[in-house]
Each structure stands twice: as C-alpha cells, then as structure tokens.
Chains A and B, each alone.
Chain A
Amino acid sequence: AQSVTQLDSHVSVSEGTPVLLRCNYSSSYSPSLFWYVQHPNKGLQLLLKYTSAATLVKGINGFEAEFKKSETSFHLTKPSAHMSDAAEYFCVVSDPYNNNDMRFGAGTRLTVKP
C-alpha cells in the first residue's frame, strides 16, 4: 500500500524567508507525487506534480519540489514566503495502476508572519 507522511503539522515562517514543507512517501513502485494547496474554505489547487520525468519539479507561485528516491522524499520549497502563501498544504501519492487512487498526507499548515 502506498502512503505519504508529512513530517510537520504546522510550519511558521517570516515573510521573505524560505519555506520547507517535508513529505516522505512509501510505495512499492515508482509513484506519482503531488503537492496541493488549500486556502481556508476553498477547494484544492494543484501546485506541482512528479510523474517520473525530471526529479526537480517546478510549480506555480514559485514553489518547487525535488523527488529523491534514495530518501523517499518529496519536499516542497519556496525561496521567499509571501503572506498569500499561508494555507494548508497536502502531499499526495497516486497509484497510476489503480484508477489513479490518491492518498493524502495529513497536511501542513503554513503560517507566514509579517
């Protein structure tokens, strides 16, 4: 069975400083991995996805993530946080051989201080 673990339930950074949201995955095969963002009372927005192409994936709003098979990690980073980045972030693993069954991590709440 596949799963993801988000290592931090809450991350707080100051505006203009780097963001690191950590995610480790467990999968018996080469997974597809995603990061989604959810602003309060809003739907999910896809930030980026990894699908076995380039290991460094660039997404929207300056976010990027690096797939590291040796570490089974897919951490999300951004060089400089903006106030509008404050939201809930979900790391997701997908099983392309099972109807794209997606499993969500527990989520990381990002707070950005002025």
Chain B
Amino acid sequence: GAVVSQHPSWVICKSGTSVKIECRSLDFQATTMFWYRQFPKQSLMLMATSNEGSKATYEQGVEKDKFLINHASLTLSTLTVTSAHPEDSSFYICSADMGGPDTQYFGPGTRLTVL
C-alpha cells in the first residue's frame, strides 16, 4: 500500500528558531502534497497545497513567508516554520496524492512544540 512518512515525528525548539519538517511518499510519486495543521482537540485545517516544481498555494490566513513549502521532487515536500513562536505549536500533518481519484494518503504527523 501507499506509505507516507514524516520526519521528525516530534520536535521541540526555542522561540525564534526555524524548523523543517519533511514529508515523503515512500512507494509512489506524488503529484500533489498537502499540509495540514491540527491544534489540540481540534480538526485538521488545510494550510497549503503544493505541486512538484511549482509554488505552493496557501489557504487564506496562512502566512506564506512564515510557512515555507518546497516540493522539489515527486517524493518529497518540506515545510519550514520560520521564526517559530509558541502559538505555532501544533500537530502538522502532510498528505500525498497519487493523481487519481481519491488517492490521498496521510503521513503520521509531526508534533511541534515551541518553547
């Protein structure tokens, strides 16, 4: 089956530093990858959609200069939280799409804690 991994699974950082989260499709090529954020006891909110080789499309209210997304290959997308602050602490989940109908697979998530 299709597997999506995320690294790291959890990270703790100091306020003001930047953190990079990787999302990889392990056994398929992902034409599109999605990044979601989930605050405690809340639902997943789509942050951005990225297609390989092009700029990401951000949802309204998501700062593109703060959440940098790079989708350099068909198997890897990265999310960099720049100048992280405690309010950025959240569970970040990526998903990868194979390109067919309803073929989106989710990663296990990365828990970010900003001190």
Q: Which residues of A contact B (CB under 8 A)?
A: 32, 34, 36, 41-44, 49, 51, 90, 94, 96, 99-107
Contact = CB atoms under 8 A, between A and B. Distances in A.
Contacts of A102: 34, 46, 95, 104
B65 interface: no
Nearest to A44: B106
Interface in B66-85: none
Contacts of A34: 102
Given A32-B102, A90-B44, A43 B32 contact: no
A106 B42 contact: yes
Interface residues of B, number: 22
Given A49-B102, A51-B101, A100-B104, A43 B109 contact: yes
A43 B49 contact: no
Given A44-B106, A104-B45, 5 more contacts: A96-B101, A99-B51, A101-B46, A101-B49, A107-B43
Nearest to A94: B102
Contacts of B95: 102
A96 B103 CA distance: 10
B108 A94 contact: no
A41 B34 CA distance: 20
A37 to B, nearest CB: 12
